[in-house]
Structure 1
Protein backbone atom coordinates (compact mmCIF):
# COMPACT_ATOMS: atom_id res chain seq x y z
CA UNK A 1 0.00 0.00 0.00
CA UNK A 2 1.08 3.57 -0.68
CA UNK A 3 -0.57 6.83 0.29
CA UNK A 4 -0.81 10.12 -1.58
CA UNK A 5 -0.86 13.24 0.57
CA UNK A 6 -1.65 16.84 -0.28
CA UNK A 7 -0.49 19.39 2.26
CA UNK A 8 0.78 22.92 2.90
CA UNK A 9 4.06 23.76 4.63
CA UNK A 10 4.13 27.07 6.49
CA UNK A 11 7.19 28.84 7.90
CA UNK A 12 8.89 32.17 7.11
CA UNK A 13 12.17 30.21 6.98
CA UNK A 14 11.05 28.00 4.06
CA UNK A 15 13.23 28.31 0.94
CA UNK A 16 11.99 30.59 -1.86
CA UNK A 17 8.98 32.09 -0.06
CA UNK A 18 10.94 35.35 -0.24
CA UNK A 19 10.34 35.51 -4.01
CA UNK A 20 6.53 35.96 -3.94
CA UNK A 21 6.90 37.90 -0.67
CA UNK A 22 9.15 40.59 -2.16
CA UNK A 23 8.85 40.36 -5.97
CA UNK A 24 5.84 40.71 -8.32
CA UNK A 25 4.66 37.07 -8.74
CA UNK A 26 2.07 35.88 -6.24
CA UNK A 27 3.23 32.29 -6.79
CA UNK A 28 6.05 30.36 -8.43
CA UNK A 29 6.39 26.70 -9.39
CA UNK A 30 9.29 24.52 -8.25
CA UNK A 31 9.61 21.53 -10.57
CA UNK A 32 12.82 20.04 -9.20
CA UNK A 33 15.01 20.17 -6.10
CA UNK A 34 18.43 18.64 -5.51
CA UNK A 35 20.35 18.50 -2.25
CA UNK A 36 23.98 19.55 -2.75
CA UNK A 37 25.01 19.43 0.90
CA UNK A 38 23.21 19.57 4.28
CA UNK A 39 22.78 23.35 4.19
CA UNK A 40 22.20 24.04 0.49
CA UNK A 41 19.78 23.03 -2.23
CA UNK A 42 19.37 23.61 -5.96
CA UNK A 43 15.85 24.44 -7.16
CA UNK A 44 14.45 24.72 -10.67
CA UNK A 45 11.72 27.36 -10.53
CA UNK A 46 9.28 28.66 -13.11
CA UNK A 47 8.11 32.27 -13.00
CA UNK A 48 5.47 33.79 -15.28
CA UNK A 49 7.24 35.87 -17.91
CA UNK A 50 4.69 38.67 -17.56
CA UNK A 51 6.17 39.59 -14.16
CA UNK A 52 9.58 40.34 -15.75
CA UNK A 53 11.56 39.13 -12.75
CA UNK A 54 15.25 39.58 -13.49
CA UNK A 55 18.30 37.50 -12.68
CA UNK A 56 19.65 40.44 -10.65
CA UNK A 57 16.48 40.60 -8.52
CA UNK A 58 16.75 36.91 -7.68
CA UNK A 59 20.47 37.15 -6.94
CA UNK A 60 19.80 40.01 -4.52
CA UNK A 61 17.75 37.77 -2.21
CA UNK A 62 19.65 36.87 0.96
CA UNK A 63 19.03 33.12 0.72
CA UNK A 64 20.03 32.79 -2.97
CA UNK A 65 23.73 32.17 -3.61
CA UNK A 66 23.70 31.57 -7.40
CA UNK A 67 21.22 32.15 -10.23
CA UNK A 68 21.38 30.44 -13.64
CA UNK A 69 18.74 31.22 -16.32
CA UNK A 70 17.64 28.00 -18.05
CA UNK A 71 15.47 29.59 -20.75
CA UNK A 72 11.78 29.93 -21.52
CA UNK A 73 9.06 27.30 -21.23
CA UNK A 74 5.97 28.66 -22.89
CA UNK A 75 4.87 31.70 -20.90
CA UNK A 76 7.27 31.02 -18.04
CA UNK A 77 10.96 31.67 -17.45
CA UNK A 78 12.95 28.88 -15.78
CA UNK A 79 15.82 29.53 -13.37
CA UNK A 80 18.17 27.28 -11.46
CA UNK A 81 18.66 28.70 -7.98
CA UNK A 82 21.14 27.58 -5.35
CA UNK A 83 19.67 28.37 -1.96
CA UNK A 84 21.28 28.34 1.46
CA UNK A 85 18.85 26.78 3.91
CA UNK A 86 18.16 28.40 7.25
CA UNK A 87 19.92 26.46 10.01
CA UNK A 88 16.63 26.03 11.88
CA UNK A 89 15.01 23.99 9.10
CA UNK A 90 17.96 22.42 7.28
CA UNK A 91 17.70 19.05 9.15
CA UNK A 92 14.09 18.65 8.05
CA UNK A 93 15.17 18.74 4.40
CA UNK A 94 17.77 15.99 4.78
CA UNK A 95 17.00 13.68 1.79
CA UNK A 96 18.18 10.64 3.76
CA UNK A 97 15.31 10.95 6.23
CA UNK A 98 12.33 10.29 3.95
CA UNK A 99 11.57 8.53 0.68
CA UNK A 100 8.46 10.47 -0.28
CA UNK A 101 8.08 11.00 -4.04
CA UNK A 102 6.84 14.39 -5.23
CA UNK A 103 3.85 13.91 -7.54
CA UNK A 104 3.48 17.46 -8.86
CA UNK A 105 5.43 20.70 -8.98
CA UNK A 106 5.54 22.54 -5.67
CA UNK A 107 3.55 25.77 -5.66
CA UNK A 108 5.27 28.42 -3.53
CA UNK A 109 3.57 31.55 -2.24
CA UNK A 110 4.47 34.05 0.46
CA UNK A 111 2.40 31.91 2.87
CA UNK A 112 4.32 28.68 2.21
CA UNK A 113 4.55 25.59 0.01
CA UNK A 114 1.74 23.51 -1.49
CA UNK A 115 2.86 19.95 -2.25
CA UNK A 116 1.53 16.55 -3.28
CA UNK A 117 3.70 13.58 -2.31
CA UNK A 118 3.44 9.83 -2.25
CA UNK A 119 4.71 7.88 0.77
CA UNK A 120 5.09 4.13 1.18
CA UNK A 121 2.87 4.03 4.28
CA UNK A 122 1.25 6.07 7.05
CA UNK A 123 4.25 5.72 9.35
CA UNK A 124 6.60 7.30 6.81
CA UNK A 125 4.28 10.25 6.34
CA UNK A 126 3.87 10.58 10.08
CA UNK A 127 7.67 10.71 10.52
CA UNK A 128 7.81 13.38 7.82
CA UNK A 129 5.03 15.35 9.49
CA UNK A 130 6.58 15.10 12.95
CA UNK A 131 10.07 16.10 11.82
CA UNK A 132 8.88 19.21 10.01
CA UNK A 133 6.72 20.28 12.96
CA UNK A 134 9.68 19.78 15.32
CA UNK A 135 11.72 22.20 13.17
CA UNK A 136 9.08 24.93 13.24
CA UNK A 137 7.40 24.14 9.92
CA UNK A 138 3.63 23.73 10.16
CA UNK A 139 2.16 20.89 8.07
CA UNK A 140 -1.48 21.48 7.14
CA UNK A 141 -2.87 18.25 5.71
CA UNK A 142 -5.38 18.84 2.90
CA UNK A 143 -6.03 15.25 1.86
CA UNK A 144 -4.63 11.76 2.30
CA UNK A 145 -5.54 8.79 0.11
CA UNK A 146 -4.41 5.19 0.32
CA UNK A 147 -3.98 3.01 -2.75
CA UNK A 148 -5.05 -0.59 -3.12
CA UNK A 149 -2.83 -3.55 -3.90
CA UNK A 150 -1.73 -4.30 -7.45
CA UNK A 151 -4.73 -6.59 -8.04
CA UNK A 152 -7.07 -3.67 -7.42
CA UNK A 153 -8.61 -5.09 -4.25
CA UNK A 154 -8.99 -3.31 -0.96
CA UNK A 155 -8.70 -4.86 2.47
CA UNK A 156 -11.65 -3.19 4.17
CA UNK A 157 -15.26 -2.10 3.64
CA UNK A 158 -14.96 1.45 4.96
CA UNK A 159 -17.10 4.23 3.60
CA UNK A 160 -15.23 7.16 2.08
CA UNK A 161 -16.10 9.36 5.05
CA UNK A 162 -14.96 6.76 7.58
CA UNK A 163 -11.70 6.29 5.69
CA UNK A 164 -11.13 10.05 5.57
CA UNK A 165 -11.66 10.39 9.33
CA UNK A 166 -9.49 7.40 10.21
CA UNK A 167 -6.67 8.42 7.86
CA UNK A 168 -6.62 11.92 9.28
CA UNK A 169 -6.67 10.56 12.83
CA UNK A 170 -3.69 8.29 12.09
CA UNK A 171 -1.73 11.04 10.33
CA UNK A 172 -2.35 13.53 13.13
CA UNK A 173 -1.30 11.11 15.88
CA UNK A 174 -4.73 10.57 17.45
CA UNK A 175 -3.96 6.91 18.15
CA UNK A 176 -0.56 7.55 19.68
CA UNK A 177 0.11 7.53 23.41
CA UNK A 178 -0.04 10.27 24.48
CA UNK A 179 -2.30 11.62 21.75
CA UNK A 180 -0.87 14.40 19.60
CA UNK A 181 -4.30 15.77 18.68
CA UNK A 182 -7.71 15.89 20.32
CA UNK A 183 -11.03 14.71 18.93
CA UNK A 184 -12.21 18.32 18.98
CA UNK A 185 -9.28 19.39 16.79
CA UNK A 186 -9.92 16.56 14.33
CA UNK A 187 -13.61 17.43 14.17
CA UNK A 188 -12.80 21.07 13.45
CA UNK A 189 -10.44 20.07 10.63
CA UNK A 190 -13.11 17.86 9.08
CA UNK A 191 -15.73 20.58 9.63
CA UNK A 192 -18.05 18.28 11.58
CA UNK A 193 -19.22 18.06 15.18
CA UNK A 194 -17.22 16.12 17.74
CA UNK A 195 -20.03 13.54 18.22
CA UNK A 196 -20.10 13.00 14.44
CA UNK A 197 -16.35 12.46 14.42
CA UNK A 198 -16.55 10.00 17.30
CA UNK A 199 -19.27 8.07 15.45
CA UNK A 200 -17.20 7.94 12.24
CA UNK A 201 -14.13 6.69 14.08
CA UNK A 202 -16.07 4.15 16.14
CA UNK A 203 -17.92 2.70 13.14
CA UNK A 204 -14.78 2.71 11.02
CA UNK A 205 -12.79 0.93 13.71
CA UNK A 206 -15.56 -1.67 14.04
CA UNK A 207 -15.58 -2.29 10.29
CA UNK A 208 -11.81 -2.74 10.27
CA UNK A 209 -11.95 -5.16 13.20
CA UNK A 210 -14.75 -7.30 11.78
CA UNK A 211 -13.05 -7.42 8.36
CA UNK A 212 -9.65 -8.34 9.79
CA UNK A 213 -11.13 -10.98 12.12
CA UNK A 214 -13.45 -12.27 9.39
CA UNK A 215 -16.53 -12.14 11.58
CA UNK A 216 -20.00 -10.75 10.89
CA UNK A 217 -21.10 -7.75 12.93
CA UNK A 218 -24.93 -7.60 13.04
CA UNK A 219 -24.69 -3.93 13.97
CA UNK A 220 -23.33 -3.16 10.52
CA UNK A 221 -25.91 -5.09 8.56
CA UNK A 222 -27.61 -2.95 6.00
CA UNK A 223 -25.56 0.15 6.76
CA UNK A 224 -23.77 1.84 3.89
CA UNK A 225 -23.43 5.42 5.06
CA UNK A 226 -20.86 7.10 7.35
Structure 2
Protein backbone atom coordinates (compact mmCIF):
# COMPACT_ATOMS: atom_id res chain seq x y z
CA UNK A 1 0.00 0.00 0.00
CA UNK A 2 1.44 3.37 -0.99
CA UNK A 3 1.56 6.10 1.63
CA UNK A 4 1.85 9.87 1.46
CA UNK A 5 4.18 11.42 4.01
CA UNK A 6 5.32 14.82 5.22
CA UNK A 7 8.52 14.94 7.22
CA UNK A 8 11.58 17.01 8.09
CA UNK A 9 15.19 15.99 7.69
CA UNK A 10 17.58 17.64 10.11
CA UNK A 11 21.37 17.41 9.99
CA UNK A 12 24.13 20.00 9.51
CA UNK A 13 25.56 17.76 6.77
CA UNK A 14 22.55 18.15 4.45
CA UNK A 15 23.21 20.16 1.28
CA UNK A 16 21.96 23.71 0.58
CA UNK A 17 21.42 24.65 4.23
CA UNK A 18 24.10 27.31 3.94
CA UNK A 19 22.44 28.61 0.77
CA UNK A 20 19.15 29.01 2.65
CA UNK A 21 20.99 30.76 5.47
CA UNK A 22 22.59 33.20 3.05
CA UNK A 23 19.29 34.60 1.72
CA UNK A 24 17.00 37.00 3.57
CA UNK A 25 13.93 34.80 3.22
CA UNK A 26 15.92 31.87 4.78
CA UNK A 27 14.03 29.43 2.58
CA UNK A 28 14.32 28.05 -0.92
CA UNK A 29 12.64 25.39 -3.02
CA UNK A 30 14.50 22.55 -4.73
CA UNK A 31 12.62 21.78 -7.93
CA UNK A 32 15.07 19.25 -9.35
CA UNK A 33 18.11 17.22 -8.38
CA UNK A 34 20.57 15.28 -10.49
CA UNK A 35 23.51 13.17 -9.37
CA UNK A 36 26.41 14.08 -11.63
CA UNK A 37 28.72 11.54 -10.03
CA UNK A 38 29.46 10.19 -6.57
CA UNK A 39 29.79 13.09 -4.19
CA UNK A 40 28.68 15.76 -6.67
CA UNK A 41 25.03 16.77 -6.97
CA UNK A 42 23.28 19.34 -9.14
CA UNK A 43 20.24 21.09 -7.70
CA UNK A 44 17.85 23.42 -9.46
CA UNK A 45 16.53 25.80 -6.81
CA UNK A 46 14.08 28.68 -6.63
CA UNK A 47 14.95 31.68 -4.46
CA UNK A 48 12.73 34.66 -3.74
CA UNK A 49 13.63 37.37 -6.25
CA UNK A 50 13.70 40.02 -3.52
CA UNK A 51 16.65 38.26 -1.89
CA UNK A 52 18.88 39.59 -4.68
CA UNK A 53 21.58 36.96 -4.16
CA UNK A 54 24.40 36.75 -6.72
CA UNK A 55 26.19 33.81 -8.31
CA UNK A 56 29.44 35.06 -6.81
CA UNK A 57 27.98 35.08 -3.30
CA UNK A 58 26.69 31.54 -3.70
CA UNK A 59 30.02 30.17 -4.93
CA UNK A 60 31.77 31.47 -1.82
CA UNK A 61 29.77 29.04 0.33
CA UNK A 62 31.73 26.06 1.62
CA UNK A 63 30.22 23.16 -0.33
CA UNK A 64 29.07 25.02 -3.46
CA UNK A 65 31.22 24.23 -6.48
CA UNK A 66 29.31 26.35 -8.98
CA UNK A 67 26.19 28.50 -9.18
CA UNK A 68 24.50 29.74 -12.34
CA UNK A 69 21.45 31.97 -12.63
CA UNK A 70 19.14 30.24 -15.11
CA UNK A 71 16.33 32.79 -15.21
CA UNK A 72 13.46 34.47 -13.37
CA UNK A 73 9.77 33.90 -12.84
CA UNK A 74 7.52 36.70 -11.63
CA UNK A 75 8.47 36.01 -8.01
CA UNK A 76 11.58 33.85 -7.98
CA UNK A 77 15.08 33.53 -9.35
CA UNK A 78 16.06 30.05 -10.55
CA UNK A 79 19.63 28.89 -9.95
CA UNK A 80 21.55 25.81 -10.97
CA UNK A 81 23.77 24.95 -8.01
CA UNK A 82 26.39 22.19 -7.95
CA UNK A 83 27.42 21.02 -4.49
CA UNK A 84 29.76 18.49 -2.95
CA UNK A 85 28.07 15.86 -0.80
CA UNK A 86 29.58 13.97 2.06
CA UNK A 87 30.22 10.40 0.95
CA UNK A 88 27.72 8.98 3.44
CA UNK A 89 24.94 11.09 1.91
CA UNK A 90 25.52 10.24 -1.73
CA UNK A 91 22.97 7.43 -1.98
CA UNK A 92 20.35 9.44 -0.10
CA UNK A 93 19.90 11.55 -3.24
CA UNK A 94 20.13 8.63 -5.66
CA UNK A 95 16.64 8.28 -7.26
CA UNK A 96 17.16 4.53 -7.67
CA UNK A 97 17.92 3.91 -3.99
CA UNK A 98 14.30 4.08 -2.75
CA UNK A 99 10.85 3.64 -4.30
CA UNK A 100 9.63 7.16 -3.60
CA UNK A 101 8.26 10.12 -5.54
CA UNK A 102 7.79 13.77 -4.59
CA UNK A 103 4.30 15.18 -4.12
CA UNK A 104 5.73 18.69 -3.95
CA UNK A 105 9.30 19.98 -4.29
CA UNK A 106 11.15 20.02 -0.97
CA UNK A 107 11.66 23.33 0.79
CA UNK A 108 14.96 24.02 2.50
CA UNK A 109 15.70 26.25 5.47
CA UNK A 110 18.87 26.62 7.54
CA UNK A 111 17.44 23.96 9.89
CA UNK A 112 16.81 21.23 7.32
CA UNK A 113 14.69 19.87 4.48
CA UNK A 114 10.89 19.71 4.52
CA UNK A 115 9.70 16.85 2.31
CA UNK A 116 6.29 15.78 0.97
CA UNK A 117 6.69 12.36 -0.68
CA UNK A 118 4.91 9.18 -1.69
CA UNK A 119 6.47 5.87 -0.62
CA UNK A 120 5.73 2.48 -2.10
CA UNK A 121 4.88 1.11 1.35
CA UNK A 122 5.27 1.64 5.08
CA UNK A 123 8.25 -0.71 4.95
CA UNK A 124 9.93 1.45 2.31
CA UNK A 125 9.45 4.55 4.45
CA UNK A 126 10.89 2.76 7.48
CA UNK A 127 13.90 1.67 5.39
CA UNK A 128 14.38 5.28 4.31
CA UNK A 129 14.11 6.53 7.89
CA UNK A 130 16.57 3.93 9.14
CA UNK A 131 18.99 4.79 6.32
CA UNK A 132 18.84 8.46 7.35
CA UNK A 133 19.22 7.82 11.06
CA UNK A 134 22.24 5.57 10.48
CA UNK A 135 23.83 8.64 8.88
CA UNK A 136 22.94 10.96 11.77
CA UNK A 137 20.02 12.57 9.92
CA UNK A 138 17.00 13.02 12.14
CA UNK A 139 13.63 12.28 10.53
CA UNK A 140 10.68 14.08 12.11
CA UNK A 141 7.46 12.63 10.73
CA UNK A 142 4.81 15.35 10.41
CA UNK A 143 2.02 13.30 8.83
CA UNK A 144 1.38 10.03 7.06
CA UNK A 145 -1.68 8.75 5.24
CA UNK A 146 -2.36 5.66 3.11
CA UNK A 147 -3.49 5.89 -0.48
CA UNK A 148 -7.30 6.14 -0.21
CA UNK A 149 -7.76 4.01 -3.34
CA UNK A 150 -5.73 1.19 -1.75
CA UNK A 151 -7.40 1.11 1.65
CA UNK A 152 -9.36 -2.01 2.33
CA UNK A 153 -12.64 -1.50 4.15
CA UNK A 154 -11.65 -1.81 7.84
CA UNK A 155 -14.93 -3.60 8.52
CA UNK A 156 -13.72 -6.44 6.28
CA UNK A 157 -11.62 -7.62 9.22
CA UNK A 158 -14.14 -6.51 11.81
CA UNK A 159 -12.12 -3.43 12.79
CA UNK A 160 -13.79 -0.24 13.87
CA UNK A 161 -12.63 2.96 12.17
CA UNK A 162 -10.96 4.03 15.42
CA UNK A 163 -9.08 0.73 15.74
CA UNK A 164 -7.95 1.02 12.12
CA UNK A 165 -6.77 4.59 12.74
CA UNK A 166 -4.85 3.58 15.87
CA UNK A 167 -3.16 0.59 14.18
CA UNK A 168 -2.25 2.64 11.10
CA UNK A 169 -0.71 5.39 13.22
CA UNK A 170 1.19 2.88 15.38
CA UNK A 171 2.64 1.17 12.29
CA UNK A 172 3.66 4.46 10.70
CA UNK A 173 5.34 5.75 13.84
CA UNK A 174 7.38 2.59 14.31
CA UNK A 175 5.52 1.16 17.30
CA UNK A 176 5.89 -2.32 15.83
CA UNK A 177 9.56 -1.88 14.92
CA UNK A 178 12.29 -3.57 16.93
CA UNK A 179 13.30 -1.64 18.92
CA UNK A 180 10.15 0.45 19.15
CA UNK A 181 10.41 4.02 17.92
CA UNK A 182 7.46 5.37 19.87
CA UNK A 183 5.27 4.65 22.88
CA UNK A 184 1.57 4.34 23.53
CA UNK A 185 1.82 7.63 25.44
CA UNK A 186 3.08 9.44 22.33
CA UNK A 187 0.49 7.76 20.10
CA UNK A 188 -2.28 8.67 22.53
CA UNK A 189 -1.16 12.29 22.49
CA UNK A 190 -1.42 12.38 18.68
CA UNK A 191 -4.94 10.96 18.73
CA UNK A 192 -5.99 13.17 21.62
CA UNK A 193 -6.94 10.28 23.90
CA UNK A 194 -5.59 8.78 27.12
CA UNK A 195 -2.78 6.24 27.19
CA UNK A 196 -5.05 3.46 28.58
CA UNK A 197 -7.55 4.15 25.76
CA UNK A 198 -4.76 3.93 23.18
CA UNK A 199 -3.48 0.66 24.62
CA UNK A 200 -7.00 -0.74 24.59
CA UNK A 201 -7.57 0.30 20.96
CA UNK A 202 -4.34 -1.38 19.87
CA UNK A 203 -4.94 -4.53 21.89
CA UNK A 204 -8.52 -4.99 20.65
CA UNK A 205 -7.56 -4.09 17.10
CA UNK A 206 -4.62 -6.51 17.06
CA UNK A 207 -6.79 -9.31 18.44
CA UNK A 208 -9.56 -8.66 15.92
CA UNK A 209 -7.16 -8.43 12.99
CA UNK A 210 -5.33 -11.62 13.94
CA UNK A 211 -8.57 -13.52 14.51
CA UNK A 212 -9.97 -12.39 11.17
CA UNK A 213 -6.83 -13.26 9.20
CA UNK A 214 -6.26 -16.62 10.90
CA UNK A 215 -9.92 -17.63 10.62
CA UNK A 216 -9.97 -16.79 6.91
CA UNK A 217 -6.85 -18.89 6.33
CA UNK A 218 -8.36 -21.78 8.27
CA UNK A 219 -11.51 -21.61 6.17
CA UNK A 220 -9.39 -21.62 3.03
CA UNK A 221 -7.55 -24.78 4.12
CA UNK A 222 -10.84 -26.51 4.94
CA UNK A 223 -12.26 -25.66 1.51
CA UNK A 224 -9.10 -26.99 -0.11
CA UNK A 225 -9.57 -30.34 1.59
CA UNK A 226 -7.62 -30.40 4.84
CA UNK A 227 -5.92 -28.65 7.71
> Normalised by the size of structure 2, how large is the TM-score?
0.82
Q: What count of residue pairs does the alignment treat as equivalent?
A: 213
SS of 1:104's equivalent in the other structure is: strand
Q: For 1:172-211, what aligned pairs fall within 5 Å after superposition?
A: 172-188=173-189, 192-209=193-210
Gaps of 5+ in 2: 217-227
**Residues 133-142 or 91-100, more deviating:** 91-100
> Normalised by the size of structure 1, how large is the TM-score?
0.82
Distance in 2 between residues matched to 1:93 and 1:191, nearest whole Å: 36
| Structure 1 residue 130, shift from structure 2 partner | 0.6
The answer as to whether partners of 1:38 and 1:94 remain within 8 angstroms in 2 is no
Gaps of 5+ in 1: 216-226
* Match of residue 111 from structure 2: 111
Structure with greater Cα Rg: 2
Q: For 1:37-186, what aligned pairs fall within 5 Å after superposition?
A: 37-149=37-149, 154-157=152-155, 162-186=163-187
| Structure 1 residue 32, shift from structure 2 partner | 1.0
| Structure 1 residue 148, shift from structure 2 partner | 4.0
More helix by share: 2
* 1:51-76: CA deviation from partner (whole Å, max 9, x where unpaired): 11111111111111111211012210
Distance in 2 between residues matched to 1:10 and 1:192, nearest whole Å: 29
The answer as to whether partners of 2:31 and 2:44 remain within 8 angstroms in 1 is yes
Q: What CA RMSD, in Å, does the superposition of the two structures yield over aligned residues? A: 2.5
